[in-house]
Structure 1
Amino acid sequence: MFDKKSSLYGFGLAGLISLILIFLQPKVVFDYDFEQFFPQNDEDLIFYQNFRETFENDNDYLLIALGREEGVFDSAFLAEAMTVQNQFEELEFSEEIVSLLTLEEPIINAFGIRYTRILNWDSEDKLARSKEKLNDHPQYSENLISKDHKFLLLMLKNQQMISKEDGDQLNQEVKNILSKSNISEYYTAGKIKAQGEFVDLLQEEFAFFLSISIVLILVLLYLIFRTWWGVVLPLVVLLFGIGWTIAIILLTGKALDVMSVMQPTILLVIGLSAMVHYLTLYLQKLRQGLSKNEAIQKTFKSLFLAVFLTCLTTALGFSTLYFTSAVSLKLFGIYTALGVMIMFLAVILITPGLLYLFSPLRVVESKGFKEFWQRALRGSLLWTLSHKALIVAGFGVISILSIIAATDLKINGYLLDNLPREHELVQEFEFFDQEFGGSKPLEIFIQAGDSAESLLELDVLRELDKLEQFVQEKYQAGAVISPLSLVKILNQAQNAGNIKAFAFPSQGQFQRMQPYINQALEQPDYQLISSDRKQGRMSSRTADIGSLKSDAINKEFFEFIETEINPDFLEVRLTGTSNLIDKSHRTISQQMAKGLGVAIILVGLIAGFLFRSWRISFMILLPNLIPLLWMCGVMWLLDIDLKLTTAVIFTVAFGIAVDDSIHFMTKLQSELKLGKSMLYAIKRTYFETGKAIILTTIILVSGFAILTLSDFGVTFYSGLLISLALVFAVLADLMLLPVLLLSMQKVWKEKRKG
């Protein structure tokens, strides 16, 4: 199978595949759509999709704060702000601007209803009256103007469901207008800004990690093999593998997203691990006196099954992400699993041919280097066999403590969860949380109950009033916009604009405003109520407090609805993108546990089939479950929460960590088939695979540790936790696994007799 002729044919096939992919010209496309993390086919998602068809998408806006240290109540500043707003309104994808600069309030008198400007700077007297009017107004203070009056808020409502490209254009045009204005202090936050900056950062990180991974590989290969071919040959194979994978991803129409940042590093270190196993054994065969042809054939025949199984189990680990409900994670799992198998194909097709074409310059291992490994492995094995009880006890105690820690892990995530809290983009969003009631949309669906014909009935409005008070108190929300707020505005209008009248009306006041309701419904900038007046929305903004706190408040919300709101008059349902994001952290974390369970079962079945024993299968799984438990302990110690960006790591870590156990057990099985005793077989396996296992672990840990340089949360935590899990795995494989195997001597003897 791996003779010279077939190997060169494989090399030629690899070249043909490359030419076909180049001819097809895959186009590199980057994208970031956080809605791809929403749980698909979820009833809350389906409900929200229907909701926004009736009303609007709750996050299609850009928040723009215009500020002045001395305060915004200055005629020149307000005139400049008005000029800026007018320019925003003329932009192609800008639909509407909501701000105090143009908002008007109704005044009802004997002649009917008229509208006056809320903020008027035509004269100093009018400006002073406006300032007095806006002081602590519940509808505007800390909503459209900061409490200290240093910033005005402009809410630019962009085109609904705007595309990434159009959003980038609009965001850039807003930036240009602000930079050319005479307003020196300004902040912006919103979906189009976050999406655009995420993709820019994504492109930078993709290029950075691809290049730094290649540099790392060159350094590690040189340190391991100390020859030009030991550096160039693996690098060529790995570049073919990563190139094929990215090309196929792009040709299938998949854009590179936030999860894709990790793929080059993952595939390169996995491929390099396989190459190190092959080349280490190949050099060992040459040192034993075999010819190049014999060494190549024996090496690839000997390791083919082990390398295939390690790639397969790693791919299975990634593919279980398909069982999550988030599109982004599904695609990441499937494409990374495909990439792992493509990398295996590249190694098998290209490596033998290159070895036949390029003979190594030298194969003599440094005597000191060889003696170091012999002493280290011999000392490690002797210590392990002499301290079996201590090892079992140590692993047991740490694992129990880790299980206890795991029960205390919290599921908690944030809107900009992939960025560190000190990042500039996060800081801008937090500015709006502090000054304007929040940057995170809060959306509640409301509907008239069976005993009501309309949301604009007094009994229904009383229920809405209770709901609004709860929302403002518990969610610490800013101004609440709902049919009730419209009624409060009309009540204020009936009282000559008196702020104190912005309150729930009496029955008489409510009756008097009836002739003006239809006219008022045409004025709001929000679609508040359906045409039949039976369905509506209650909208606000809140700070990004994290899904853990949000879940606790939501629980109180549901209890409040159940006990305090009369369903005969008002039906209520929490909805919106923020609710879906919070839910996705919880849902995906739970689904990760199921996916991990599937991965463990599949690996157990493969091991059971390979070794024909469920007890041996358990022995393989146990050393690879321990790193996952210890990783929980580390997360607890470092106060790392479970979320979208960390839950995925467990499945990935298990799929990679199990590779060393398979290499160890495959070699052990071949030794036992030769009739050697268990102790001698473990010794031979330990000495022959120990070096490769340690080297591949160093490579993998180095590769994943690079990811901690990332600004993306998912990338950083993947690098940190997977690196630690791999270290824990090599300790379990070289310390605990031999001890467990020695306890299985009777099983092996029975199998041999059978």
Structure 2
Amino acid sequence: MPNIFLFVLNHPKKVLFCIALVTYLFALSIVNLKYDFTIEQLFAKDKEETEVYFEFQKDFSREDNVFLLVHQIPDKVSDGFIDSLIQITNTLDNSPYFIEIISLADIYNDSNKKGDGYISRLLNIVSTDSTLGSIWLKLRDDYNTFQKRSKVIDFIKNTTTGFDWEWTYSGIPVVRNTYVEYMIKDNIKFIPPVALILVLSLAFLFRHWLYVILPLFTVIITACWILGIMSITGKGLNVMTYMVPTLLFIIGVSDSIHLLSRLNIYLRRNLDMKESLELSMKDMGVALFLTSLTTAIGFLALLYSSISIVQEFGVFIASGVFLAYVLTLTFIPSVLILLKDKIHINVHNRDNTRIMFLKKVSNVVNEKPKQIALASIFLTLILSTGTLYVSTGSSLLSDLHPNSGLYIDLKNVEKWFGGILPMEIIISRNDSVNIAMHDSLVMSHVQEFQEYVSSLFPHTNWISLQKVLKQVLYEISPQSEFPPDQETLDQLYILTQGQTENLINFEETKIRISGMLPDLSSEVLDSIEDSLEFFADSHFPPWLSINVTGTMPVALKTNNYLIVDLFSGFGLAFIFISLVMGLLFLSVRIGLISMLPNLIPIIFAADI
């Protein structure tokens, strides 16, 4: 390593040229950086829930592609209002974006009452107080990506802006895009104050503009290289890796501070710049490497996660930490060597209030080590009791600020229409039994089950094959009970096949019960799933079974997996870093003690 340091100091222009060339090539590749904010990336790999969800999508269709446009309804619904509504739906229908559009116009259209449109009469088209209506839009799969959804949302808003009906735009596609936009905006807002704090801190520590610029350029180049690597490897930015540049901005600057602080020590001894840099690099090279190694191990522990984008996040951060280390020992010394004759390094007198304060603290620590250790242990034990009350439960909206527009809109839609978060219940028939899924026996069990589901969520309209057949039977013969005889059921099934093709799979071995729910916590959802499974086990024959899936259940279960993975990863990182420190100091005791300054703040944070 000393030979490498000497090469850097003897050939600064070559080193800077190589850094500039690599940076230029990576910067070119950033232009092709992809953005992929699909929610499926957050689903845990090789987990039963994830496999069931994707199997559901293959058997039926996506359930996360529904827009809900809420609008006011006049006190007296006039033909003019219906004509305007038809105009809006026709404009939306003539676009290439949607598979299906359902609105109040379908209910008022007499043609729907003569054969089709049964599902439109089962949906919550009107709010509970009859003051609001809704338009349901089913997005085509080709347009269900972040960039394309943005265009679709703009198209919807442009189409409806001409009608002053106090619109609320909701649905999973809106939630996805708005959530990502919030994250990107927050990340952008976060960078300027972080940069300002770094600039002020560096200026306060070193009192020289060069010592401020060089660390900042180091982390900027590091971020550029990492983004270039993302682009070249085809990974791109997602809901996790978009935070990588900002985190590197914070983590990567520490190496520069350590190196420049050590450099100032030698400069105060009146050594020239080259000799001071050589000694500083020799002193700090191994120490900074070990610091980078332990930091990287902490992030590489995320490889234990079952979520691929969390693994990628850990790898890219760990790589960035080492790139920042390399650039600290190459870029900064090279620039300082080239500027040593042109810029006078103003070494600030360190005999000031700050240094005096730190010396006093150091003296207290040296004089009273036992008291300080006992006080630390006592505070840690007291505060650790708070960790017993840390909740691991979450909901899909728990990360949103209650005053954010998205949160307010979603809560309003929950109040008006029961919710927009999809949950699917799949009822499957065992292959060993040759009974049609629209058989009267199956329909009887499904009706009983659906009544139980409706009792759990009274404000949610559950759509299923059984409910459509029951609705058609009611419109034909209001006095008839469901299920009717098998011959009538067969006729109803044939009559509604055009409308129920997404409610039963192609092999006709599974049917779905679809509902839009309010935001639920993971604990509540687990309890509901247990009650549904218990009801099915106690009321269904052995050849019928259920699976609960959908965007909300899978996302919440993924959150539970993530928590377990992070705790496990933390444990692994703790063990590996302790081993590294133990090998470094040839003492297991020192290795464990060195971890306490990191462990105690975590306990404090958990208590807060």
| Same fold flag (TM > 0.5) | yes
CA distance in 2, matches of 1:40, 1:596: 20
CA distance in 2, matches of 1:598, 1:387: 34
Deviations 1:122-169 (A, max 9, x none): xxxxxxxxxxxx9xx9x45xx121111111222101112623333222
TM-aligned CA distance change 1:632 to 1:365, over 3 Å: same
- In structure 2, the residue matched to 1:37 is 42
CA distance in 2, matches of 1:179, 1:94: 19
1:168 aligned residue (142, 146, 150) = 150
- In structure 2, the residue matched to 1:11 is 16
State the shift of 1:196 in Å. Answer: 2.9
Tell me which amino acid in the other structure corresponds to 1:152: G
State the shift of 1:250 in Å. Answer: 2.3
TM-aligned CA distance change 1:106 to 1:43, over 3 Å: farther
> Is 1:576 matched with 2:550?
yes
Deviations 1:62-109 (A, max 9, x none): 1111213x44733322221122111111111211112342259999xx
Tell me which amino acid in the other structure corresponds to 2:602: L
CA distance in 2, matches of 1:560, 1:301: 70
Whether the 8 Å CA contact 2:12–2:338 is kept in 1: the answer is: no
1:101 aligned residue (94, 101, 105) = 105
CA distance in 1, matches of 2:458, 2:522: 15
Whether the 8 Å CA contact 1:61–1:155 is kept in 2: the answer is: yes
Whether the 8 Å CA contact 1:65–1:154 is kept in 2: the answer is: yes
Deviations 1:342-383 (A, max 9, x none): 1111111111111212236244433xx524244322321333
Whether the 8 Å CA contact 1:66–1:185 is kept in 2: the answer is: yes
Whether the 8 Å CA contact 2:428–2:546 is kept in 1: the answer is: yes
> Is 1:75 matched with 2:79?
yes
Q: Which runs of 5+ in 1 are unaligned?
A: 108-112, 120-133, 635-754
2:61 aligned residue (46, 56, 62) = 56
CA distance in 2, matches of 1:587, 1:468: 30
TM-aligned CA distance change 1:512 to 1:15, over 3 Å: closer
- In structure 2, the residue matched to 1:473 is 455
Deviations 1:453-485 (A, max 9, x none): 022223322321232122222245511111220
Structure 2 SS opposite 1:177: helix
CA distance in 2, matches of 1:465, 1:229: 75
Whether the 8 Å CA contact 1:491–1:510 is kept in 2: the answer is: no
- In structure 1, the residue matched to 2:115 is 115
- In structure 1, the residue matched to 2:482 is 505
- In structure 1, the residue matched to 2:327 is 346
31-40 or 576-585: bigger deviation: 31-40
> Is 1:586 matched with 2:560?
yes
1:435 aligned residue (416, 424, 434) = 416
Whether the 8 Å CA contact 1:472–1:478 is kept in 2: the answer is: yes
Any residues of structure 2 matched to 1:165-314 within 5 Å, and which?
Answer: 165-180=147-162, 182-314=163-295
State the shift of 1:534 in Å. Answer: 2.6
Tell me which amino acid in the other structure corresponds to 1:96: E
- In structure 1, the residue matched to 2:518 is 543
TM-aligned CA distance change 1:344 to 1:43, over 3 Å: same
Structure 2 SS opposite 1:65: strand
CA distance in 1, matches of 2:116, 2:300: 61
> Is 1:488 matched with 2:470?
yes
TM-aligned CA distance change 1:447 to 1:21, over 3 Å: closer
> Is 1:625 matched with 2:599?
yes
CA distance in 1, matches of 2:116, 2:275: 93
TM-aligned CA distance change 1:493 to 1:248, over 3 Å: same
TM-aligned CA distance change 1:445 to 1:576, over 3 Å: same
- In structure 2, the residue matched to 1:453 is 435
- In structure 2, the residue matched to 1:530 is 505
Whether the 8 Å CA contact 2:241–2:312 is kept in 1: the answer is: no
Tell me which amino acid in the other structure corresponds to 2:115: Y
Any residues of structure 2 matched to 1:137-148 within 5 Å, and which?
Answer: 139-140=122-123, 143-148=124-129
Structure 2 SS opposite 1:95: strand
- In structure 2, the residue matched to 1:713 is none
CA distance in 2, matches of 1:145, 1:381: 70
State the shift of 1:493 in Å. Answer: 2.2
Whether the 8 Å CA contact 1:412–1:547 is kept in 2: the answer is: yes
Structure 2 SS opposite 1:632: helix
CA distance in 2, matches of 1:476, 1:333: 43
Whether the 8 Å CA contact 1:451–1:568 is kept in 2: the answer is: no
State the shift of 1:261 in Å. Answer: 4.3
CA distance in 2, matches of 1:589, 1:22: 35
State the shift of 1:525 in Å. Answer: 6.0
Taking only the aligned residue pairs, the percentage that are identical comes to: 22
Tell me which amino acid in the other structure corresponds to 1:325: S
- In structure 2, the residue matched to 1:606 is 580
Tell me which amino acid in the other structure corresponds to 2:210: W
Tell me which amino acid in the other structure corresponds to 1:361: H
Deviations 1:176-209 (A, max 9, x none): 11112x2422212123323333444444444443
CA distance in 2, matches of 1:365, 1:196: 50
Q: Which runs of 5+ in 2 are unaligned?
A: none
Structure 1 SS opposite 2:226: helix
State the shift of 1:391 in Å. Answer: 2.8
Tell me which amino acid in the other structure corresponds to 2:94: E
TM-aligned CA distance change 1:466 to 1:8, over 3 Å: same
CA distance in 2, matches of 1:84, 1:525: 26
Whether the 8 Å CA contact 1:437–1:542 is kept in 2: the answer is: yes
Structure 1 SS opposite 2:357: helix
TM-aligned CA distance change 1:624 to 1:610, over 3 Å: same
CA distance in 2, matches of 1:10, 1:48: 52
1:365 aligned residue (341, 345, 348) = 348
Whether the 8 Å CA contact 2:187–2:246 is kept in 1: the answer is: no
385-394 or 51-60: bigger deviation: 385-394
Whether the 8 Å CA contact 2:208–2:346 is kept in 1: the answer is: no
Q: How many residues align?
A: 598
State the shift of 1:293 in Å. Answer: 2.2
- In structure 1, the residue matched to 2:380 is 399
Whether the 8 Å CA contact 1:445–1:574 is kept in 2: the answer is: yes
Structure 2 SS opposite 1:62: strand
